[in-house]
Chains A and B, each alone.
Chain A
């Protein structure tokens, strides 16, 4: 079993829909990261959080430390949000990555 599990693996949505991507982990962490990877591009850090909730534009990230679970929400999704979203947990000075959720938003 992977230490970081994401669901769903693939997600399609119509423009404007509310999107949720989930991440569960089984190790002790110092922080959880949500990353975005566009096709052919590098990885961009969206959020780093260790408790509660953070919001940036249309993106919201929440974490429940007791349940070892985090969610990434995208409100009013847009085709430019199409990318792979990766959850990574910081544990003992290294990041452990999930396999990513591939999101496609259609106009």
Chain B
């Protein structure tokens, strides 16, 4: 079974530029998560999708971050414009169904972003 795919693996941009990340979850997984992990910290949930609907985006900085999952499969996360403090690893994860208790999340390899 293929895992969660993410691209690019690394990205270096200057502040105020835009950047987009892509995630392809495991086939059949209804729930998709985007996390931000700053060096030395645990992952922080940015947004959670159930199929193509947003379940939780309470910690997404909506003035600069946006995410979509139009067909309920692939997802993109965009930052526009980027700030220095956005430097982090952006992790995508998926699970079968958030409505089931005790659901395992499967993580992608992450995209490491460096904002200069």
Contact = CB atoms under 8 A, between A and B. Distances in A.
Of the four ranges (under 10, 10 to 19, 20 to 34, 35 or more), the interface on chain B belongs to 20 to 34
Interface stretch (A14-22, A53-61, A73-81, A97-105): A97-105
A42 B40 CA distance: 15
A65 interface: no
Nearest to A50: B102
Interface in B31-90: 40-45, 48, 55-56
The binding surface of chain B is classed by DSSP as loop
A90 B42 contact: no
B98 A93 contact: yes
B107 interface: yes
Interface of A: 4, 30-31, 33, 35, 40-45, 48, 50, 86, 88, 90, 93-95, 97-100
Given A43-B43, A45-B107, A50-B102, 10 more contacts: A42-B109, A43-B107, A45-B105, A88-B42, A90-B102, A93-B48, A97-B42, A97-B43, A98-B42, A99-B42
